[in-house]
Amino acid sequence: MDLTVVWAFIIAFAVFAYVVMDGFDLGIGILFPTFKAGRERDRAMNSIAPVWDGNETWLVLGGGGLFAAFPLAYAVILPATYPLIIAMLLGLVFRGVAFEYRWRDPGHQKFWDMAFTGGSFVAALAQGMTLGALLQGIEVVDRSYAGSWWDWLTPYTLLTGLGTVAGYALLGSTWLIWKLDGEEQAHARKLAVRAAIATIVLMGAVSLYNVTLNAEYAAHWLTAPQIYWVAPVPLVTAIIAVSMVRAITRDRNSKPFWLAIALFFLGMSGLGVTIWPYVVPPGLTIWDAAAPERSQIFMLVGVAITMPLIIGYTAWAYWVFRGKVADEGYH
């Protein structure tokens, strides 16, 4: 078994877990201004207050795991997207402290609500643009980023950035359908329909753009025999998208959220097909950037022991706070 491939899947899993779990937190932040000050905002915030910190930890695993398993990729991608990463980090600062501060200082609650939204939006946009900057290719010379200052800012990266914002808004609004009821749930449905349409349109646009980015990406999708393997991805995506929109308008619980996650899963699988076997296209494959076997094995032992535990107690924490928010009161 090739450990480098195993590690590529572990990092992909961490990124996926982050995107889905902090995605709905950030999505709620993005949608926050549309909620009524008072009960609706409080309930939306309370639905994620006990779990956001754990969700954000997957970002540290994605970054730290990349550092550990593919140090060269970490050392190239971060300088190449420097302004995006700094913007994301500062956005996450505002978003994270707003969870506490808005309750501490009722006189400035509106300000911290704005910080919550601004931070969430900037973080989501920066993450999506970083993904775009990676997919469009990063120039590497002599184990080091060799591009220029503004390589990360193109129409394509703006498209991936907006797609991520829309996708997070979709996750956030479907989460709220699950966690809220009454007129607040009805509001979440309306938001979810709009976010779903935006997400599907932008996902489609990014997918088409990807095929034009370089010949190798196109070959992954459009040549035989791969085409027989990958053709179902867009088809299944379309089916999921339709049933998700139906669920958003009807279901009272978690079904829209799970279908939104399924949509993200397919989107990420599609990205995997596109980028494989590169970790930093167009030059660095996962094998070029991989840490030595000793590092891989040492960490794999840790992952094998801790990951089931992490998933177990994370699931437990979600279970403790299950159900509609404020049905049992918050203390």
Partner 1 sequence: MFENLDALLLARIQFAFTVSFHFFFPAFSIGLASYLMVLEGLWLKTGKSVYLDLFKYWLKIFAIAFAMGVVSGIVMSYQFGTNWSVFSDKAGPVIGPLMAYEVLTAFFLEAGFLGVMLFGMNKVGKKLHFFATFMVALGTFVSAFWILSVNSWMQTPTGYEIGANGQFLPGPSWWDIVFNPSFPYRLVHTVMAAYLTTAFVVGAVGAWHLLKDRANPHARKMFSMAMWMAAIVTPAQIFAGDMHGLNTLEHQPAKVMAMEGHYQSHPEGAPLILFGIPDSEAKTVRYAIEIPKMSSLILKHDLDAPLAGLDTIPDDREPPVGMLFWSFRIMVGIGFAMLGIGLWSLWGRMRGKLYDMPWLHRAAVLMGPSGFAAVLAGWITTEVGRQPFVIYGLLRTADAASPLDAPAVAASLLAFIVVYFTVFGIGVWYVLKLMSKPPHAGEYGVKRGDVGPIRTAGITPGPTQNPGGEETLPTEAPGEKEPV
Question: Measured between alpha carbons, how far is 301 from 57 in angstroms, rounded to an integer?
Answer: 20
* DSSP E strands, the chain: 140-141, 144-145, 278-280, 284-285
- In sequence order, what are the residues at sequence separation of 6 or more whose Cβ sits closer than 8 angstroms to the Cβ of residue 26? 95, 120, 123, 124, 168, 172
Least gap, CB of 298 to partner 1 (angstroms)? 5
Residues numbered 156 to 215 that lie near partner 1 (CB under 8 A) are 181-183, 185
# residues contacting partner 1 (CB under 8 A): 83
Of all helices (H) and strands (E), which one includes residue 162? helix 155-179
Min dist CB 208 to partner 1, Å, is: 31
Distance CA 255, CA 242 (A): 13
287 binds partner 1 (CB under 8 A): no
Residue 89 near partner 1 by CB under 8 A: yes
User: The tokens of 98 are what?
Assistant: 């707003």
Interface pick for partner 1 out of 57, 160, 173, 199 (rule CB under 8 A):
57
128 binds partner 1 (CB under 8 A): no
User: Which residue number, 235 or 317, has a Cβ lying nearer to partner 1?
Assistant: 317
Judged by CB under 8 A, the residue of 100, 219, 222, 246 near partner 1 is: 100
Question: From the list 155, 208, 228, 292, which residue makes contact with partner 1 (rule: CB under 8 A)?
Answer: 292
At closest approach, how far in Å is the CB of 62 from partner 1? 9
273 is an interface residue for partner 1 by CB under 8 A: no
What does the alpha-carbon distance between residue 96 and residue 170 come to, in Å, rounded to a whole number? Answer: 20
Taking CB under 8 A as the criterion, the residue among 23, 27, 29, 65 binding partner 1 is 65
Task: State the amino acid at position 99 in one-letter form.
Answer: F
